[in-house]
Structures are given as C-alpha cells and as structure tokens.
C-alpha cells in the first residue's frame, strides 16, 4: 500500500558556472600586465658564455640598439638607432626614459630596476659607452647585456 519513494540526489545546478568562469578570466586579464615592444630596430645579439637567465622581467627596462627597420622587417639604413619602448630615440632621450620608468615603479622596486641593453653585435662600442654614461648620470647602475648561447644560431 504505502510505497516508499527512493531518495534521489538533486542535480547540481550549473547555470551560473559560465558566469564564474568569465569572471575569473576577466580578473586574470586585468591583473596580468603584458609588455611587448614593437621592434623598430634590427639587432643580432652577440654570442656569450656563462649566461644568466633574467628572472624579474617586470622590473626591466629595455634599450634596443641597431639598424632601423620598416614594418616588414627590412633594414632601412646603415646608421645606428636607439629604440626606447616603441619609439626611435636619441641618447639625450634616455634620461627622460629612465625618469619615466622610475615614476611608474613602486618605491621598493626602484632599487631592483634593471636596464637591459639589446644591441646588435656590430654596433660601435662608442654608442654603448655613450648609453652607459647617460645611464650612470641617471643613477641607473644595474645594466645587463643580452646575448645568446655560443653555438646557438
């Protein structure tokens, strides 16, 4: 007469799952800072031995030195140019570039800031010395030079 109905487990409501996934996705898109410079300089880094991998790329400011290129990657001239972020610049512009980079960094990160010079292997040493002297005047004393492993082509 009296039948007992079997207890069934209620189904999980997954209607709000896409909202949750998109919320997490937007969170990571907002907090992740991707920094990619549009290269306007062609450079082939020199080979080296005993190289170290750069650990804190977010605290690194890049200076590119080489021959100018067009939008298709073709070399436009023979003169050496300097690129700071996405702009072709002169040695005199490096001072304001370092000041701007420092103003964007937090106070505790200022002492750990690194300037990475990515220069073509055929750039005259006088240009590199001029860049280094300008960096020294701005008290940007932690300088790294990009290179590739010997035998890597």
The span from the CA of 98 to the CA of 135, in Å, is 8
pTM over 0.75: no
- Rounded Cα gap, residues 126 and 132, in angstroms: 10
Q: How many domains does the structure of the chain reveal?
A: 1
Q: Is 71 inside a domain boundary?
A: yes
CA distances from 100 to 58, 67, 145 (A): 15, 25, 21
pLDDT in tens, 7-17: 777 788 888 88
- Sign of the Cα torsion 22, 26, 27, 29 reads positive
Q: How confident is the model at residue 152 (pLDDT cuts 50, 70, 90)?
A: low
Quick check: 52 and 71 in contact, CB under 8 A? Answer: no
Domain membership of residue 91 (yes or no) is yes
Q: Which residue has the higher pLDDT, 3 or 118?
A: 118
Confidence class of residue 33 from pLDDT cuts 50, 70 and 90? Answer: low
Residue span of the structural domain in which 63 resides: 41-149
Q: Pick from 73, 57, 53: which is nearest to 147 by CA?
A: 53
Q: What is the pLDDT of residues 101-131, one digit of tens each?
A: 999 888 888 888 999 999 999 999 999 999 9
In a domain, 18, yes or no: no
Residue 48 lies in a domain: yes
Residue 132 lies in a domain: yes
Evaluate if residue 137 carries a pLDDT over 90: yes
Question: Does 94 fall in a domain?
Answer: yes
Q: Give domain status of residue 34, yes or no.
A: no
Residue 131, in any domain of the structure: yes
């Amino acid at each position: 007469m009296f039948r007992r109905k079997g207890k069934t487990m209620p189904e999980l409501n997954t209607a709000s799952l896409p909202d949750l996934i998109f919320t997490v996705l937007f969170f990571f898109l907002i907090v992740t800072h991707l920094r990619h410079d549009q290269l306007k300089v062609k450079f082939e880094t020199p080979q080296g031995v005993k190289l170290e991998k750069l650990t804190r790329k977010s605290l690194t400011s890049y200076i590119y030195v080489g021959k100018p290129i067009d939008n298709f990657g073709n070399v436009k001239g023979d003169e050496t140019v300097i690129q700071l972020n996405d702009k072709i610049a002169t040695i005199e512009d490096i001072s304001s570039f370092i000041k701007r980079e420092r103003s964007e960094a937090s106070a505790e990160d200022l002492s750990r800031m690194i300037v990475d010079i990515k220069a073509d292997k055929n750039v005259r040493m006088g240009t590199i010395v001029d860049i280094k002297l300008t960096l020294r005047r701005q008290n940007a004393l932690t300088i790294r030079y990009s290179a590739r492993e010997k035998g890597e082509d």
